Amino acid sequence: MSVVQQSFATYKENNTIEDGDLVVVYLARENMSIIRIKDGEYFNCKFGSYKHSDMIGLEYGTKLGSNTGRGFLYLLYPTPELWTQVLPHRTQILYIADISFVMNFLNLKPGMSMIESGTGSGSFSHSIARTIAPTGHLYTFEYHQERVNAAKKEFEEHGLSHMVTLQCRDVCKDGFNMENKVDAVFLDLPAPWEAVASAKKAFKQDKIGKICTFSPCIEQISRTVTALSDNGFVDIQMYECLIRFNEIRVIPMWTIEEAMEKQRAIEKKRKRALPRVLREPAAAADEQEEEEAKKIKIESADDSNVSSAIGTPSSTTGSEMDEGVQVKSETATPSVPSTPILSSETASPSTSSDPRERIDPKNVMVTRLPVEQRGHTSYLLFATFTPATQPPNLTQQNAAKKA
């Protein structure tokens, strides 16, 4: 075991994986898992088997090949952001868009103390703890005993328990039982309005405080707005925040002249092909070719702009299919090529070596949003707790008079 307990709130001084440490194993963005290193154990996945002992002593971020030599993975340091992606879901959880916006609006920073309820799966708790560490404190409330137990264990294992107080409590029925203690409150509960009055008491009474409630339905928001204004909260504001993850593609764009050249070439070929080959297969082949001519060829962004990409093993995928048209990103010329070459078999040797006679379309880099994406998470309702008003003290009054 390492001497100092690893914590999600900070990095390790030596950035080295030691026995007993947590590591996020990255196979792909959608394929990550968190493991605790134990000498003698293995991490198995479909690309191979990895000995924990081989990970010990490596720096976080290292790329590790499997014992078969066929696959590899990355060994990442566990952060709250990664935790949100790998944690076991016991409830619905908050994701990075809402987590980030709420923390920013609530002005979280080191040293703040805060209430959160319910703890749920602890997704948000980890980000809060990291942000208010090392001197801040998180009071988190959850009324479901098993979730409390699971979260408690995680906070301990993640080096956060010294700054997180977790209580099993129905905050709507029994309140937070806290007074004059916190700078911010976050409520992710089915009925947040029932906890507003108690939250008010928990705020440090002589300073400004911020509250956020998180509800998927507008009816919940209405009731919470009423509760907030009844309890004297001001500056009530509501937001929604979503993240758009873009995919990058490189698409070739032929001019209409190029497309017509291609069409003419296909027709020429058809005339030549007909007498020789049986009618049916030829038609099928033509169809396929026409299909290809119309299809916008998409080049992997991975390979674009690498002059040596042509012919690398990774770029040969589907090359048989696409032989008809050469897509060469680095030689895109604006001029219209004269006679396009369709495939090496149909081209005469003299033309095939003439680069001007290829279709070199202009490649355009574009982005695209996934067809399906998140359209709504929840409404974020914010309000301000105003401090008890104090009369300006005497010296200030005097100073004001003099001025």
Partner 1 sequence: MVNPSDIIQAGEHVLIKMPSDNVKCVVLNAGSTISLGKFGSFKANDIIGHAWGNSYEIYDRDNKTRVYHPDDMNEIDETANNNREIVDDGASQKLTSEQIKALKNEGLKGELTGEEIVNKLKESHATFDKKTAYSQAKYLQKKGKKFHKVFTPIKPTTYSLNEYFYIKNPAKIRDIRMDTLSQLLSYSNVHAGAKLLVVDDTQGMVVSALAERMGGKGTILGLYDGDSPHYDIVKYMNFDQETLNSIKTLAWGRIHRPVGEKTPDELQDVTQLTGKDLEGYHRRLKAYNIVEESRKILFEGDFDGLIIASQYQPESILEKLLQYVRGSRPVVVYHTYKEALLETSTWMRKSPDLLAPQITESWLRKSQVLPGRTHPEMSTWGTGGSLLTATKVIDFPVQAALTKRERLAIEKKNAEAKKLKRAREESEASGSEAVEATTTTADTTTSTTTTTSTEEESKEDDERSSKRVKQE
386 near partner 1 (CB under 8 A): yes
- Residues touching partner 1: how many (CB under 8 A)? 132
Are the CB atoms for 249 and 242 separated by under 8 Å? no
Q: What are the structure tokens assigned to 302, written together? A: 């991975």
CA dihedral sign of residues 274, 279, 284, 290: positive
- Choose from partner 1, ligand SAM, none: what does 70 bind? Cβ within 5-8 Å by kind: partner 1
Q: What are the structure tokens assigned to 204, written together? A: 């440090």
80 near ligand SAM (CB under 6 A): no
141 near ligand SAM (CB under 6 A): yes
Structure-token match 């002589």, residue found:
206
Q: What are the structure tokens assigned to 95, written together? A: 């994701």
What is the footprint of partner 1 within residues 209-228 (CB under 8 A)? 209, 218, 221-222, 225-226
Rounded to whole angstroms, how far apart are CA atoms 24 and 37?
A: 10
Tell me if 188 is assigned to a ligand binding site: yes
What is the footprint of partner 1 within residues 53-92 (CB under 8 A)? 54, 58-77, 79-81
Span of 103-111, 148-156, 255-263, 274-282 interacting with partner 1 by CB under 8 A:
103-111
Rounded to whole angstroms, how far apart are CA atoms 76 and 61?
A: 5
Rounded to whole angstroms, how far apart are CA atoms 183 and 387?
A: 11
Give the residue with the Cβ less far from ligand SAM, 166 or 325.
166
- Choose from partner 1, ligand SAM, none: what does 281 bind? Cβ within 5-8 Å by kind: none
Phi and psi for 164 in degrees, rounded to 5?
A: -125, 125
Kindly write out the interface string for residues 88-127 of this chain, putting x where it contacts ligand SAM by CB under 6 A and - elsewhere.
---xxxx----------------------xx-xxxxx---
Q: Which helix (H) or strand (E) segment is 320 a member of? A: helix 319-322
Q: Which helix (H) or strand (E) segment is 214 a member of? A: strand 209-215
Structure-token match 């409390």, residue found:
148
Tell me if 230 is assigned to a ligand binding site: no
Kindly state the smallest distance separating residue 30's Cβ from partner 1, in Å.
8
Rounded to whole angstroms, how far apart are CA atoms 34 and 25?
A: 6
Q: What are the structure tokens assigned to 288, written together? A: 């396929």
What is the footprint of ligand SAM within residues 188-217 (CB under 6 A)? 188-190
Give the residue with the Cβ less far from ligand SAM, 6 or 121.
121
- Choose from ligand SAM, partner 1, none: what does 174 bind? Cβ within 5-8 Å by kind: none
- Choose from ligand SAM, partner 1, none: what does 118 bind? Cβ within 5-8 Å by kind: ligand SAM
Are the CB atoms for 382 and 204 separated by under 8 Å? no
Give the residue with the Cβ less far from ligand SAM, 50 or 143.
143
Phi and psi for 111 in degrees, rounded to 5?
A: 95, -10
Are the CB atoms for 385 and 209 separated by under 8 Å? yes
What is the footprint of partner 1 within residues 134-173 (CB under 8 A)? 134-135
177 near ligand SAM (CB under 6 A): no
Tell me if 303 is assigned to a ligand binding site: no
Across-strand partners of 114? 138, 184
Give the residue with the Cβ less far from ligand SAM, 201 or 269.
201
360 near ligand SAM (CB under 6 A): no
Alpha helices in 106-217 (DSSP H): 123-132, 145-157, 171-174, 196-202
Q: What are the structure tokens assigned to 182, written together? A: 């916190």
Kindly write out the interface string for residues 15-34 of this chain, putting x where it contacts partner 1 by CB under 8 A and - elsewhere.
x----------xxxxx----
Q: Binding site for S-adenosyl-L-methionine, residues? A: 142, 170, 188
By the criterion CB under 6 A, which residues form the site for ligand SAM? 91-94, 117-118, 120-124, 141-144, 147, 170-172, 188-190
Q: Binding site, residues? A: 142, 170, 188
